[in-house]
Amino acid sequence: MAARKSGLGRGLDSLLPVERPQVGFSHLPLELIEPNPQQPRTRFDEDAMAALADSIRAVGVLQPIVVRPVEDKYVLIAGERRCRAARLAGLVEIPAVIKPEDTDDTVSLTEALIENVQREDLSPLEEAAGYRQLLEDFGLTHETVAQRVGKSRSAITNTLRLLQLPAAIQVMVGDGSLSAGHARGLLALEDQAYAVHIAERVVAEGWSVRQVEDAVKKRAAASSPAVRPPKAPRPAAIIELEDRLGERLGTAVRIDHGKRGGKVMIRYGSLDDLERIYKLLS
């Protein structure tokens, strides 16, 4: 019979202070993380948080939060929404970058994050999450992010749009079975269930990006009236404005312009995405 292990060791361990990491990267227990008392935002949309929690359950926390140690706990510097959504998703730990206790320099944190998103080993979703953190946590614009990371504004916008895809497709992009090019081709589909269906066929049958684009065009043609009256060419200025608004908001924009005015239609992928667009507009 094997000797029974003594509980004495565990008893002594429980009496000794637990050494917490003080700087660097770690996975921290959520119970040790406290909100920043200087956080100006106190209201978080419940539906948007639920959508983010669903995404975290599917693909995990793509971008670590930023904290600083205070006694035996940690105070948030950046990542309040991710922290709340992780708790909602049932996580007990979250990836975190731990900065020195006296850190309060937002500029240095921004520079560190920019350096992180310039790494070559990031997945497209991790890159997109990094851009979103620069926009949401540090208030940068699409154009500023583009200048700081050395990419075009449209490249930043197109990468961010990957976060509008259904969670099932994000999982495929995250594990590398679906390329970012294939995923971007699916963004034009309004029917998310059909988008997942096409993504699954891409993975199973090895479709090219061109095949994805053709499938999306066929779907659009099938859902449109069989006969359309001819339309006058759309003004180039309106098309250019659509492109500029789309890049600024990180989503598809359609402008219907007439003699007596018109309307602007802005596409959003989820309530979380709608809240992001609202913040940009306000």
- Which residues in the chain belong to E strands, given as ranges? 24-29, 33-34, 65-70, 73-78, 93-98, 253-258, 261-266
pLDDT tier at 109, thresholds 50, 70, 90 = low
Residue 205: in which H helix or E strand, if any? helix 192-205
- Is the CB of residue 246 less than 8 Å from the CB of residue 157? yes
Check pLDDT > 60 for residue 110: yes
Higher pLDDT, 119 or 167: 167
Check pLDDT > 60 for residue 234: yes
Helices (H), 31-104: 46-59, 80-88
Residue 230: its pLDDT value, please?
A: 57
* Degrees to nearest 5, angle at CA 92 with 43 and 86: 35
- Best mean pLDDT range from 54-63, 202-211, 255-264: 202-211
Residue 41: its pLDDT value, please?
A: 52
Model-wide pTM > 0.75: no
Q: Would you please indicate which residues are annotated as catalytic (active-site) residues?
A: 80
- Is the CB of residue 55 less than 8 Å from the CB of residue 48? no
Residue 9: its pLDDT value, please?
A: 42
**Separation CA 251–CA 117 (nearest Å):** 21
What average pLDDT does the segment 254-267 reach? 82
Q: Which residues of 30-41 are buried (b: 16+ CB within 10 A; e: fewer)?
A: eeebeeeeeeee
Q: Which of 81, 77, 65, 97 is nearest to 36 (CA)?
A: 77
Check pLDDT > 70 for residue 108: no
Q: Where along the chain do its domains lie? A: 20-159, 165-222, 243-281
Check pLDDT > 80 for residue 214: yes
Which tens digits make up the pLDDT trace of 30-58? 999 988 765 545 566 777 788 888 888 88
pLDDT tier at 225, thresholds 50, 70, 90 = low
Q: Checking phi first, is residue 139 left (phi over 0); if not, alpha (psi -120 to 50) or beta?
A: left
pLDDT tier at 232, thresholds 50, 70, 90 = low
pLDDT tier at 91, thresholds 50, 70, 90 = very high
Q: Which of 90, 30, 27 is nearest to 64 (CA)?
A: 27
- Give the sheet arrangement for strand 33-34, strand by strand: 24-29, 93-98, 65-70, 73-78, 33-34
CATH of domain 20-159: 3.90.1530.10
Residue labelled with tokens 């602007």: 264
Q: What percent of the chain has pLDDT over 70?
A: 79
